[in-house]
Each structure stands twice: as structure tokens, then as C-alpha cells.
Structure 1
Amino acid sequence: MAWLALLSLFGLLAILLSGRVTPAVAFTSVAVLYALAGWVETPRLLNAYTNPALVTLLVLLMVSQALERSPWLTTLAKRLMHGSERHATAKLVGASALLSAFFNNTAVVAGLMSAVAKQPHFAPSRLLLPLSFATVLGGITTLVGTSTNLVVNSFAVEAGLGFSLFQFSWVGVPVALLSLGMLIWRARCLPHHAAPFDEAALHYFAAAQVTPDSPMIGHSIEANGLRHLEGLYLLEIEREGRLITPVGPDMPLQANDTLVFTGDISKLHALQRFSGLALFGHPASQLLTDNLVEVVLSHDSPLIHQTLQNVDFRSRFDAGVVAIRRGNQRLKGQLGRIPLKAGDCLLLAIGPDFHQHHNITRNFYLLDDSLQRPSLGQWQNLLAVGGFALTLIAAATQVLPLLHGLLLLLEALLLSGTLQLAELRRRFPFALWLTIGSALAIAQGLSQSGGADIITQGVQALFSGYGVYAAFVGCYLLTWLLTETVTNNAAAALSFPVAWATAQSFGADPTPFMLAVAYGASACFLLPFGYQTHLMVYSTGQYRLKDIWRLGWPVSVVYSAGVLLLTPWVFPFGE
């Protein structure tokens, strides 16, 4: 049984690395198998989903839905965008790190991203990635700064321990300050993606199909006037399942050819003058007469892994997809058949009822201020922000437990109309709830089946000649590798049982090992896929993987060195 349980853990990791199944489905499936095998009793399984620390995380995320609508975030972002670029970067990084120490970092990025992307003073590509990195660094300084800390706290509470509001600060604050200094210094290496007509602006990809009755059929690219479109470039043609690239001027068009254009989004209106072109099943002349709006696909959207051909996009949102952008990556083939990913930028031609659809905020981050949900009024803003501040003060002074304070604040937000039940239902973090609750059950199952004992014996054999500090470093590195390849919360959920077993094998205080998991799960600075705020800015800033690597590796080195040196010094392993 022990080896089967351990084998299932490796299978879970393989599934997560493949990216074909969401963490919620993968963790829940394994938890159900553990329950069927008798390794987790039904009451313990149900208790895992009602863990107090997990409930605290869920309530905090619901309260954050009001906080992200605070007008203070947008006003702050606009005021920071003055002075030299280096000065503006330092102000943005410092302010966003401070905010994310107390507010959910996803809410902070969502509130600031639109203002930063649309401001006219600096290239957004010079600011958006530092914004995301800064919110990660600010989040490690308190219990409520990032969901990862609360996830680790869920496991700690299940084990009979738990963290206070500022226990993370002793290591988190100095590590964050050192890393922020490196971030500000290295921000100068980021690219400038601002000029509207140079090569850097060619970042959106639109696919137009030649209809069977099109008058363009049989005529060459040159004769059809597709050779010299201002701000647009005909990149390739998909014909009967094969790609034709480069496209010569004498190439005649055929029925059902898919023409892939790249270029400046403001020039896509040029396609509406061509009769017989269709964009994702809709005539170009019809689709491009509507308002064009940029959105970023949310990490919670059910559209992830779906193609535009598989979802009734037009009916669902009263909008048509005109073009897609994924970082600075060149998307190949028919765009309607490409599975969507979190962080993709979509250019939408919206209809008059787009604003009325209730599923907009669940699926997209809106980059157009006119389409944002209405900001909180003066009294609602005071209730949301002031109430949250009082909740944290009450928790820090032990006047009121954090969960009780958040529940009271949530009730006040609902009674005042600041939040609506329908909104909470649409955006309830079911995936996160299932992932963490299932992970808690899996940890219990590993203990009951004997799998945890095998991990303990393996850790003792691996690190017996190197000591407890080497084992601590190993736990941090394991979590760091996982968070760069799977999601940060999944990395924490997978690493915690190993870290706990490691501490047990050495008879050491588990606190530094739990902190190694918490800090390691936030050490995502090399790839955009492990952290949702990185995905939020990835396409908006037109970044390439090498841009994130160039900025991230020095920050990662400073961050990791600070964590590995300070954690055992502040929280010793014990005697």
C-alpha cells in the first residue's frame, strides 16, 4: 500500500507536468482514489475541504473582489507614472510590493495593469513585468500577501501548527528588499515595445478565411491589394492543411485559404474593404465595424485549453475574436484551432450587449478602462479598504481571529451592496478549493498508507551524510523547481508532505522546512507559467521567454540566497 501511494504521487506529478489536466482535476482524482482505497476515511476527507486556514483563504479571495475595484489603485498607478523611467519604475515597484503585502497580489496586478498598459509616458514592456515580480516579492512578507502562504498555513494547521500574520515578515521583508533592489537595477534590460510601426509592434495575429464565393479567388496577392497594407503584413497562408510561407506576390488565392496577418491592431480595419474575407466565421466587413477591445484571458477562465471553434464565443459574450497574441510568440496555423492559454491577449470586436454579460470578469482582465466594472463609491471604498485594514489590525493584535474578521467584513460588503451573491458565485475559486482540499486529504493518505514513512527513510538515506541544512536546501530547491513548471499552489501542495517528512526524519523543528516550501513556491522568476500574475502581463507586455529570464535570474539568485541564509538563522532547526 505504501509503495502504491507513493507511486500515485509520482503519477500526479507527471500529470501536472504534462499540462493536459488542470491541477484541480488531478488532485481531486487522486484524493478520491485514496478514499476508495481506504487510506483516507470519509470524515477526514470532508474535513480536509473545511480546513480553517483553507476557508480563510477562500473568504479572503472573495473579499478581494471588492478591493480590486477600489478607485485608489487606478489613481495610484496614474500618479506613479511621472518623472524619469527609472524613478517611475522604482515608485511602481515599491508601491505594488507594499500593497501586495496586505492585498491579494492578483487583485493588485489586475487593478494596476490597465493603467500601466495604457499610460503614454513609458513603454508598458518596461514596467509590467517588474509590477508582477514586485507583487510576488511583497506577497512573501505576510500571511495574507499571497495565496501560497495561506496554502502552506492550511497544511500547518492540519498538522496542529500554524503561522501568525507577520511570522513570514522576519525573513520575507529583508529578502523582499534585497530582491526589489536587484529588480529595479535589472529592469533596464527589458525591451521597448512601444513604436506603432516597427517590427516590435507586429505582435497580434489575425486569421482571415477566403470564402467560397469571394471575388478574390484566382487573383494574386499583388492583384488583390494584399501586398502593401499599412501596418499589416501577410505572414503565411494555410491551404488544405499545409502552410505556405513566405507568401510571394504572384501567389493566387484559392477558396477556403486561411490568410494569417500580423501587425498593428489599429490597422485591422483595413481588412473590412476586402469582400469575401471572414474572421472566425464572420464577415470581416461586419466584425470590424464594432468597437475593438483588448482583453487578457483569466487564469480562472473555462475557455483555457478550448479552441474558438469549440466554443460559441459570439453568443456567449456578444463579441467576435479578431486576433490573438501570446507574448511575443508567433502563433502558427489556423488560429481558430489553437487551444487558448491563460494570459493570451484577445482582440475582440464587441457588440452592444457585451457589457451586460455577467461572465466577463470571470473570463477576462479588461485593458479598456471604459469597460471595467464600476469603481466603488466613496463610502463603499471606505468600507472595503478600511474594513480590511481593521480586520488585519484585529488579527495582528489577537483581538479577533483573521477568519472571523474576514467573515464579518464579507457580511458587511454583502449587506451594503458592495458585493453581490451572484458575483461571488461566478467567481468563487472552486479550482483552488478542490486543489488544496484534495492535497490535504492526499497528505493524510500518505501518512495512513505508510507512504510518508518511505519518504522519511529516503530522505534520511539521501541526506544522512550532509546534515539537516542540506535537507532544508533540498526541500527549497524541490519546491522551486515545481513552481517553475507547475502552478505555485500545486507546487506547495506537492512539496509540503516531503518537507514535513524531512523535518520528522531529522527530529528538527518543522517551521523552517514549512517556510522553505512557502518561499520556494513563490520563487517563480524564470518562467511565466507557474505564477498567474506573470501570465496576466506576459502577452500585454509582448514579452518573450528570454525577457523574463534576463530579468528573473539575478532576482532569483538574490531571493534564493536570502531565503536559504536567513530562514535557518531566524528559525533554527532546534537542538
Structure 2
Amino acid sequence: MTPWAVLLSITLLLVLLISGKVKPAIAFVALAGVYLLAGFIDTSTLLVQYTNPALATLLLLLLVSLALERSPLLDWLSQHLLKGHPKLATARLMCSTALLSAFLNNTAVVAAFLGAITRQQRIAPSRLLIPLSYASILGGITTLVGTSTNLVVNSFHLNASGSELGMFQFSLVGIPVALVTLTVLLWRANALPHHRSEDTEEKLSYFLAADVETESPMVGKSIEENGLRSLDGLYLLEIERKGRLISPVAPDEQLQADDTLVFTGEVSKVQALQRFPGLNLFGHQADNLLATNLVEVVISHESELAGKTLQDVDFRSMFSAGVVGIRRGDKRLEGQLGKIFLRVGDCLLLAVSADFRQHRNLDRNFHLLSGSFTRPQLNRNESLVTLGGFAGVIGLAAANWLPLFHGLLMLLGALLLLKVISMAELRRRFPFELWLIIGSALAIAQALENSGAAALLAHGMEAVFSGYGMYAAFIGCYLLTLVLTETVTNNAAAALAFPIAWSTAQAFGADPLPFVMAVAYGASACFFIPFGYQTHLMVYSPGRYRITDFLRIGLPVSVVYSAAVLIITPLVFPF
């Protein structure tokens, strides 16, 4: 019954990941710990997985990317790509994003273009942001370092076979797949919504919460008497009073102490609230708060704010800023904003103090959309050293003259020595969760092998596809990975699907490489919903998208992408 118990535990892990109630890092580490206690793996085997050379290479690449993402090259490109005819501008944006994402962290590429796209007025941002996110995925599948998913698969391949995948081994299939899919994406971009800044939808996108003080002279007077019906650019949407909502708000409704007033409208007109005595924004005087700069940010996938409310954290002390409004896609957020659980991808409108830019945890928590605040950039010499050094490392690794790990380690050392990046920044941005997930997943894969569960899975796959042939089994492994990446994170999908694909190839007596590639490309095939991939979440709220927008564009993109992968992969990597 041991193999069945292991398979049952994997099923439970998958259920927890899909539910979102347990963080992936906690779920994977807990299951690896259970397998250790049950004797499926020993202590030395478990610890070795966390020092897997391919995993260490991934971590080094992410740390070096901290310097790469501060290069002024990305900002320069973002200012020049959107000129000319909208269709040509969209094509330039997609091609440039794909090319950059083949070598740079796709999150950094999307973050660099995000602010410029949302600030410009020529082309509706909603026409550009989904193509931006999808193009970053398509560029990532073309090289070993293009996406963390490829490096995760490389970690498993090294563990299973003793050899690493080549720098451009993914390109043979990835480049033609990317070109075909980008063409379809450019064609379907016309079907995206056309949200401009002057549209009513845009003006109603933020919801501002203000508290009525106990001693406010507004208490006991009606909405009409307080002048709240004639605000410039703002509209009183609802009142929260002692746990219940009053909506719509009648003109003769009298204000009471501790009422929370929820406004909607143009964020630039938020100063209209300044003239009302005893009206506080998130517990702070409106006049003090609004005397500072307004900055719009998106909560990043690394942020410690995700899953918490503004009341759970001392936001003002943490960032020297007050939250004026919150936006999530095109949805209207109900109730008191301070009690809303924040999510990755939420847009926050911040009123920041002069000390805001001094906080060192900004990059980890936010992607900047607009405002006078700009992130510190590398100077010309630092940028040349960083970009030139990275290009050299990639070139040497591609020519097999220097292992990628060695090159990245030397480059990181040089960046630290030249003070391009600091030890403090490395500590703040070290990807602990990813390290725990992949290390634990490698241990879980080893437990599957040791317990006999992997062999049981292989026999099951063989029984299901024995009447249809090896190619059908290959398609099954790809589709399994695709379903997983749409329901859990892409790296978790690769970690769960790899042992199944490897065992299936062995059961059919086939070369495992095409099955390995099916997992790699399938784990990047996240096009249907915004919640499965971090760059989708980054553009979800800035683009004012609905989930149906992703489905409308993602369906044809996913179909063409999958068809290209399933046709080209066996031709390049025969069974």
C-alpha cells in the first residue's frame, strides 16, 4: 500500500495548491518532511536536493537579474517602442519583449515596460498589456535561462540523468513555436477591450475610503447639507456604518460618527476631500496625506502584503505612505478598503512622503506604474559592466567554454565588488520560497522513485495509452502539464509533471528528452487565466481586464501554441 499512500499524498498536495489556502513553499516542504519521517528518503538525500547544481544556477541567475533589471536600456526601449502606427508599435513591443525575455527575467522585462505603457496616451494600455505578458512567456521558452521553468526542468533532468540541458537546446522548438504564436497574438490583439484614461470605466476604477471623526462638524448633517453631492470628480458611492453598507446613499442620509465613506471617481481629484473638517483617509488627516505625491503601484508576487489587509500591517510606518485607493482588475471593491485582503496584482494608489524612496523593500513589494518617484538606475559604466558581463557569461556557456554556474558566480562577485549590487539587496530579494519549492520537489520526486509510486504511475500511463501509441502518451504528458500550470504555479506544475513524464518515457522504452521538453513547454503554456502566472497578475489591474479578456485571447493562442509544440517537438527530439 506504500505506493498508493504516496500517490494519495501527492493528490492532497495538488488539492491544497489549487485551493490556494496553503502557500506552495509550505505545502512542498511539509510533504518532503513527511516523506523523510516515513523513511521514503533519508536526510542526506533530502539535503542534496537543496544543493542541486541546476537549482543553484537558477538562484544565481535570479540574483544577477536584480542588477540587470535596473539597467536604463529597458526604460530607453519602453520610450521608443510605442511610436508610429499602433499595429506596428504593438508588433515592436511584442518582438522586443520576446527577445529580451529570452535572456532576462520576464518579470523584470514586463515591469520595465508596464509604467511606460500605462502612462502614454497614444494607444489604449488594455490593447498592449496582455500581448506584453504573453510575449514575455513566448520569449522565455526559447533558451535555458529564458524562464525559471526551464531551469527547474533542467534541475530535474540533471537529477534524473546526470546531465544538464544546453543553453539553446530549447530554441530548436521554442523559436518556431514563439514566431507562430506571436503572429496569432498580434492578430487577436484587436479583440482586446479599448479602455482609455478618459473612459468612464477608468474614472470609476479607484475607491477611496474616508472616516468621519467623532468630533467632526459633519456629524448629524445630511449628505446634501455637507456638500457631498457636488464634489469635483468624485462620487459618494456608499457608507459603511457599524458593519453594514448603505448603498445607494440618499441625499437626506445623515452622517454619524465613525462612518466610513466610500468614494469613486478621478484619482487626480482626491484633493476635493481636503476641505471637509474631520474627514480622515485611512485614519490620517486628509490635508496632511494629500500634501504629498500620488504614486500608483502594483503589488508584486514577492510582496509580503499578499494575503493581508491594510489593518494587519503598519503600512504607513513600513513605507512612509498612505493608501488612498485600491483597484483589482475592473471589479468594484465592496466595503471598507482597510479590511480587504490584498492580492498579487492589486493596484494601490499611494500618497507618499519624502521618505518613501528611502525604503529598501519597495522593489520587493511593488511595481511602479506612475508618479514622480522613479527607481534608482545603474549609471552608464555600471550598465555596461552588467550587460556586457551577462552577455559574456551566456556566450561562454553556449560555447561550452565555461559552465553557466561558474560564469554567473563570477559575475555576481564582480557586481558585489564594484558595488553595483549590495549584500543587503541580495538578502532582501533572495528567492527563498522558490528554493524551498524546487528543493522539496526534487526530494518528493526521489521519494516517488524509492516508494515505487513512480513505477505505478508509469504502468498506469502505459495502460491508458498502450492502445494509442507513444505519441499519444507524449500528448497526454503535455496536456497534464498544461492543466497543472493553469491551476497551480508554473514551477509547481513542472515539479509535479516531470516525474510522471520521465516514468512514462521509461515505460514505453522511449528517449525521455521529448517528454522532458513537453513538460518544459507545457509548464509555460499559461494563457487562459490571470492567476496562474506572475506577469499576468502584473497587467491584470493596470489593463482593467476581466477574466473573459484572457480567455478570449488565450484560447486561440493556447491552441496554436500547443499544436506547434506537439508537432515540432517530436521532429526535433525523436522518440
TM-score, normalization by structure 1: 0.97
Q: What residue in structure 2 maps to residue 133 of structure 1? A: 134
Q: What residue in structure 2 maps to residue 417 of structure 1? A: 419
Q: What residue in structure 1 maps to residue 115 of structure 2? A: 114
Question: Does 2:95 correspond to 1:94?
Answer: yes
| Distance across 2 between alignment mates of 1:111 and 1:174 | 26
Q: What residue in structure 2 maps to residue 82 of structure 1? A: 83
Question: Does 2:259 correspond to 1:257?
Answer: yes
| Distance across 1 between alignment mates of 2:224 and 2:191 | 40
Question: Does 2:305 correspond to 1:272?
Answer: no
Point out the more displaced range, 473-482 or 167-176. 473-482
| Distance across 2 between alignment mates of 1:114 and 1:169 | 30
| Distance across 2 between alignment mates of 1:459 and 1:215 | 73
Alignment of 1:170-319 (within 5 A): 170-196=172-198, 198-319=200-321
Question: Does 2:66 correspond to 1:53?
Answer: no
Q: What residue in structure 2 maps to residue 572 of structure 1? A: 574
| Distance across 2 between alignment mates of 1:516 and 1:235 | 50
Shift of 1:398: 0.5
Local SS of the residue matching 1:262: strand
AA aligned to 2:238 is: E
| Distance across 2 between alignment mates of 1:427 and 1:136 | 22
Point out the more displaced range, 281-290 or 416-425. 281-290
Shift of 1:162: 2.6
AA aligned to 2:566 is: L
Q: Is the 8 A contact 2:195 2:201 kept in 1?
A: no
Shift of 1:373: 2.7
Q: What residue in structure 1 maps to residue 407 of structure 2? A: 405
Question: Does 2:436 correspond to 1:444?
Answer: no
| Distance across 2 between alignment mates of 1:369 and 1:198 | 22
Deviations 1:161-195 (A, max 9, x none): 43101111111101100110111111112222223
Q: What residue in structure 2 maps to residue 62 of structure 1? A: 63
Deviations 1:22-78 (A, max 9, x none): 111111111111111111111111110111110110000011111111111111111
Q: Is the 8 A contact 1:123 1:193 kept in 2?
A: yes
Q: Is the 8 A contact 1:78 1:119 kept in 2?
A: no
| Distance across 1 between alignment mates of 2:560 and 2:332 | 33
| Distance across 2 between alignment mates of 1:80 and 1:99 | 13
Q: Is the 8 A contact 1:275 1:285 kept in 2?
A: no
Structure 1 spans left out of the alignment, 5+ residues: none
Deviations 1:337-376 (A, max 9, x none): 1111111111111112111111111111122474333211
Q: Is the 8 A contact 1:114 1:369 kept in 2?
A: no
Q: What residue in structure 2 maps to residue 552 of structure 1? A: 554
Q: Please tell me the root mean square deviation across aligned C-alpha atoms, in Å.
A: 1.4
Deviations 1:441-479 (A, max 9, x none): 110111112221221222122222222222211111111
Q: Is the 8 A contact 2:295 2:371 kept in 1?
A: no
Shift of 1:546: 1.5
AA aligned to 2:236 is: L
AA aligned to 1:89 is: T
AA aligned to 1:12 is: L
Q: Decide which of 498, 506, 510 is 2:500's aligned counterpart.
A: 498
Q: What residue in structure 2 maps to residue 18 of structure 1? A: 19
Question: Does 2:46 correspond to 1:33?
Answer: no
Point out the more displaced range, 146-155 or 289-298. 289-298
Shift of 1:243: 2.2
Deviations 1:401-456 (A, max 9, x none): 11111111111111111111111110000011111111001101111122212212
Q: Is the 8 A contact 1:197 1:264 kept in 2?
A: no
Q: Is the 8 A contact 2:293 2:371 kept in 1?
A: no
Q: What residue in structure 2 maps to residue 476 of structure 1? A: 478
AA aligned to 1:375 is: Q
Point out the more displaced range, 274-283 or 553-562. 274-283
| Distance across 1 between alignment mates of 2:197 and 2:296 | 18
Q: Is the 8 A contact 1:197 1:231 kept in 2?
A: no
Local SS of the residue matching 1:142: coil
Q: What residue in structure 2 maps to residue 487 of structure 1? A: 489
AA aligned to 2:476 is: G
Point out the more displaced range, 83-92 or 193-202. 193-202
Shift of 1:152: 0.6
Point out the more displaced range, 118-127 or 350-359. 118-127
| Distance across 2 between alignment mates of 1:369 and 1:508 | 56
Q: What residue in structure 1 maps to residue 150 of structure 2? A: 149
Q: Is the 8 A contact 1:345 1:539 kept in 2?
A: yes
Q: Is the 8 A contact 1:194 1:201 kept in 2?
A: no
Report how many aligned residue pairs link the two structures. 573
Q: Is the 8 A contact 2:41 2:443 kept in 1?
A: yes
AA aligned to 1:144 is: V
| Distance across 2 between alignment mates of 1:71 and 1:315 | 30
Q: Decide which of 458, 461, 467 is 1:459's aligned counterpart.
A: 461
Shift of 1:330: 1.4
| Distance across 2 between alignment mates of 1:250 and 1:472 | 68
Shift of 1:505: 1.7
| Distance across 1 between alignment mates of 2:478 and 2:245 | 45
Q: What residue in structure 2 maps to residue 5 of structure 1? A: 6
Q: Is the 8 A contact 1:196 1:264 kept in 2?
A: no
| Distance across 1 between alignment mates of 2:49 and 2:295 | 42
Q: Decide which of 328, 331, 336 is 1:329's aligned counterpart.
A: 331
Shift of 1:197: 5.6
Structure 2 spans left out of the alignment, 5+ residues: none
Point out the more displaced range, 543-552 or 238-247. 238-247
Point out the more displaced range, 463-472 or 5-14. 463-472
| Distance across 1 between alignment mates of 2:422 and 2:367 | 19
AA aligned to 1:134 is: A
Q: What residue in structure 2 maps to residue 42 of structure 1? A: 43
| Distance across 1 between alignment mates of 2:477 and 2:218 | 62
| Distance across 1 between alignment mates of 2:363 and 2:393 | 26
Local SS of the residue matching 1:554: helix
Point out the more displaced range, 229-238 or 372-381. 229-238
Local SS of the residue matching 1:529: helix
AA aligned to 2:18 is: L
AA aligned to 2:152 is: V
Q: What residue in structure 1 maps to residue 509 of structure 2? A: 507
Local SS of the residue matching 1:331: coil
Q: Is the 8 A contact 1:193 1:201 kept in 2?
A: no
Local SS of the residue matching 2:563: helix
